[in-house]
């Protein structure tokens, strides 16, 4: 199936049609070979186990539900027309229609996916009518469940479940007396005299329709897009809100690939997708058509005019007027992660085309929790389920700010947030609380051979939490006991926080693991690799309350200093510490002390005795014996220092004068009086 080719001006007269798709000529016009068709069939079979194809019965049910909804809209608009005393002739032809957009309109929705819909009404129907009388009409329907209106959203929406199918309905009021059945929303003239909320609501349908009209073959486009969306979700790079790409952005990248290879089938297009975008020179924009200017004075993406547009790192521009960048949330870290995934995808598809691998390899999910050495764990908690739902939505929408703050830190190379969230641990069993947890992988700057790195992430995290709390209070959403907490966790410690299905629990094999969480804080004092934490209030006695919310007017005061501990090299050593250890670690420590006490000390004593009795030996014999003993003694000390050098406890026992105590002067103490702040502090000391 082929569509009309672009480009066009403000509307699309036939005179402007060119002989190719997109803004450039295609890279290749090669036709598909038999081997390509076989690979495409294998690709389709490989997709089926992942539920990306909906059964015909379920598809018909969706069509039936949308038909019912469309009938309700027509009835409602007629009722509104009667209440506003329109002539009977107009009421009979006033119309009204439900349009769809998003994955359902593109034909790539999966099993159980929701439907994005748009209610288009004539000019005499107000937005207030939509959120009052139409909402009441929906309440009367038996099939409608979980009905809720979000009138104050950036794009106002009514959310509902209609016969167990989730639907989001937007509203647009056009400057027309009636709404014809054959209305084409791609007509830019429809945007005249509309308010900005109606233009935003129309944008989803207009972009989706443009994409479908700008690809050479819709079926090849759909199968390719299903493949890329599944791959992106499996590789944790599918989330517009967290700085990756959303469904529309992935659709535009696939559409651009289809334009460059108009005769290729899905198996070839998937490979070409990775080839094109692994080598794409960002921030050059991805465009499906030449931008238009319809002289409606609407803001469009144009770095020549708008300075802020020049800082977009991965611009993918929507094809419908007013053109916008769909990827303004992308950061340096998320772009780096996606480009790396493009390159890996290219390597895998190269192997698939050479029959060295199967399509299933493309959908193998990488282990995010083994990829990095350091992680920042973010916890959002609220006392009730309803409050938690709103709180988590706000926190998640702002996580990209935290990622941006971490990127700006001079010691951080990359911050990769996992789009998947997990249920968080509870502070106490007695207290009712619902929490959600996100994990951010962090790569720190590489250090020189003798360089130690002191990293303070407190300001980065505090700036993020301040932004979230400020917006929550401005929107009057904030409630008591809504909290955000952050902590630094090593890779080997993640298993104590994550569900078993994500990361199986490890065996208890040493004290280098994570201590039990106390008030959702982590004490990393027993880390054993080269990074160490600095002193923190988490080492206070149990009688001192930490992370305790204190009511102060409309605010909640929380002081939760997270992931801070005294470096091992700064602790005063005491053999009694062995009693606090368990298992093999305890016996290893005891063995080290015994080695010091029962090997080095007797050897020193024997050398002293030998020197005292030197007068009883013949001079030549004495010299030989002394040389042998001193050689053995010095060699033993050197071996101990070389082999056991990382164990500061043993070295301090050998050389007590090197013992130092921890300097707690820079540690923030818990406030004596309540103050309206939320304190999340992470300080690290990294060494090679």
Residue with tokens 């998937």: 270
**Are 67 and 97 in contact, with CB atoms under 8 Å apart?**
no
Beta partners for 167?
115, 160
The answer to whether residue 12 is catalytic is: no
Q: Which of the following is catalytic: 5, 229, 289, 490?
A: 229
The answer to whether residue 229 is catalytic is: yes
Q: Which of the following is catalytic: 5, 21, 103, 333?
A: 103
Work out the number of other CB atoms within 10 angstroms of the CB of residue 683: 21
Strands 165-173 and 115-121, by their bridges, are parallel
The answer to whether residue 195 is catalytic is: no
192-215 b/e (C-beta count within 10 Å ≥ 16 → b): eebeebbbbbbbbbbbbbbbbbbb
Q: Which of the following is catalytic: 114, 163, 350, 456?
A: 114
The angle at the Cα of 402, spanning 399 to 407, to the nearest 5 degrees, equals 130
C-alpha to C-alpha distances, 58 to 36, 114, 156, 613, nearest whole angstrom = 31, 12, 28, 99
- For 670, the token pair is 């818990």
Residue with tokens 């053109």: 323
Quick one: which of 454, 463, 522, 525 has its CA closest to 494?
A: 522
**Are 569 and 531 in contact, with CB atoms under 8 Å apart?**
no
Give the C-alpha separation, 179 to 18, whole Å.
31
Residue with tokens 């349009």: 99
Q: Which of the following is catalytic: 5, 97, 116, 188?
A: 116
Give the C-alpha separation, 172 to 165, whole Å.
22
Burial environment of residue 182 by CB neighbours within 10 A (0 to 12, 13 to 18, 19 or more): exposed
Q: Which of the following is catalytic: 238, 261, 372, 375?
A: 238
The answer to whether residue 476 is catalytic is: no
Number of residues assigned to the chain: 688
Give the C-alpha separation, 511 to 524, whole Å.
10
C-alpha to C-alpha distances, 273 to 251, 269, 280, 590, 597, nearest whole angstrom = 11, 6, 10, 59, 67
Strands 115-121 and 97-101, by their bridges, are antiparallel
Give the C-alpha separation, 348 to 356, whole Å.
9
**Which secondary structure element, helix H or strand E, spans residue 584, and what is its range?**
helix 583-595
**Which secondary structure element, helix H or strand E, spans residue 639, and what is its range?**
helix 619-643
Residues identified as active-site = 103, 114, 116, 168, 229, 238
């Amino acid at each position: 199936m082929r569509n009309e080719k672009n480009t066009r001006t403000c509307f699309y007269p036939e005179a402007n049609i060119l002989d190719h798709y997109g803004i450039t000529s295609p890279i290749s016009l090669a036709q598909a070979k038999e081997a390509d068709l076989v690979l495409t069939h294998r690709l389709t079979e490989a997709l089926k186990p992942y539920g990306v194809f909906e059964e015909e019965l379920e598809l018909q049910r969706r069509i039936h539900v949308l038909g019912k909804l469309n009938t309700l809209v027509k009835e409602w608009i007629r009722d509104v027309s009667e209440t506003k005393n329109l002539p009977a002739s107009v009421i009979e032809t006033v119309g009204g229609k439900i349009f769809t957009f998003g994955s359902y309109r593109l034909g790539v929705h999966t099993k159980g996916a929701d439907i994005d819909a748009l209610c288009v009404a004539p000019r005499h129907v107000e937005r207030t009518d939509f959120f009052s009388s139409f909402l009441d009409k929906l309440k009367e329907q038996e099939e409608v469940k979980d009905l809720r209106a979000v009138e104050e959203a950036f794009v106002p929406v009514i959310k509902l479940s209609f016969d167990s199918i989730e639907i989001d309905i937007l509203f647009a009021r056009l400057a027309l007396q009636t709404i014809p059945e054959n209305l084409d929303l791609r007509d830019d003239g429809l945007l005249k005299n509309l308010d900005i909320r109606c233009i935003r609501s129309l944008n989803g349908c207009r972009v989706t329709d443009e994409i479908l009209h700008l690809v050479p073959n819709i079926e090849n486009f759909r199968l390719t897009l299903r493949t890329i969306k599944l791959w992106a979700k499996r590789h944790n790079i599918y989330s517009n809100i967290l700085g990756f790409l959303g469904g529309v952005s992935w659709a535009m990248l696939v559409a651009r690939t289809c334009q460059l290879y108009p005769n290729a089938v899905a198996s070839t297009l998937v490979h070409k997708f990775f080839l094109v975008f692994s080598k794409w020179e960002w921030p050059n924009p991805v465009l499906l058509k030449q931008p238009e200017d319809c002289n409606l004075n609407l803001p469009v993406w144009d770095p020549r005019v708008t300075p802020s547009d020049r800082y977009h790192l991965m611009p993918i521009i929507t094809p419908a007027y007013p053109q916008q960048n769909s990827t303004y949330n992308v950061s340096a870290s998320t772009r780096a992660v996606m480009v790396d995934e493009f390159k890996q995808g290219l390597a895998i598809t190269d192997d698939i085309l050479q029959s060295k691998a199967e399509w299933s390899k493309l959908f193998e999910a990488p282990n995010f929790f083994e990829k990095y050495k350091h992680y920042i764990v973010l916890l959002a908690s609220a006392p009730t389920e309803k409050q938690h739902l709103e709180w988590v939505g706000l926190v998640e929408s702002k996580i990209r700010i935290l990622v941006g703050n971490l990127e700006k830190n001079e010691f951080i190379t990359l911050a990769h947030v996992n789009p998947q969230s997990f249920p968080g641990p509870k502070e106490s069993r007695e207290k009712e609380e619902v929490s959600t947890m996100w994990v951010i992988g962090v790569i720190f700057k590489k250090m020189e051979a003798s360089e130690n790195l002191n990293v303070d992430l407190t300001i980065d995290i505090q700036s993020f939490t301040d932004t979230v709390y400020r917006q929550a209070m401005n929107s009057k959403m904030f409630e008591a006991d809504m909290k955000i907490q952050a902590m630094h966790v090593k890779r080997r410690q993640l298993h104590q926080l994550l569900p078993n299905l994500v990361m199986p629990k490890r065996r208890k094999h040493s004290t280098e693991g994570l201590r039990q969480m106390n008030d959702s804080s982590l004490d990393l004092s027993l880390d054993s690799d080269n990074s160490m934490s600095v002193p923190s209030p988490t080492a206070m006695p149990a009688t001192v309350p930490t992370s305790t919310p204190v009511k102060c007017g409309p605010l909640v005061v929380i002081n939760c200093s997270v992931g801070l501990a005294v470096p091992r090299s700064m602790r005063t050593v005491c053999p009694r510490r062995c009693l606090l250890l368990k298992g093999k670690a305890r016996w290893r420590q005891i063995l080290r002390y015994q080695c010091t006490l029962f090997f080095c000390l007797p050897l020193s004593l024997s050398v002293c005795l030998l020197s005292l009795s030197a007068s009883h030996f013949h001079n030549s014999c004495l010299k030989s014996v002394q040389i042998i003993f001193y050689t053995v003694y010095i060699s033993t000390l050197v071996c101990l220092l070389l082999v056991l050098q990382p164990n500061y406890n043993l070295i301090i026992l050998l050389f007590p004068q090197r013992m130092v105590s921890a300097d707690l002067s820079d540690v923030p103490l818990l406030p004596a009086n309540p103050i309206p702040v939320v304190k999340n502090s992470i300080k690290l000391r990294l060494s090679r």
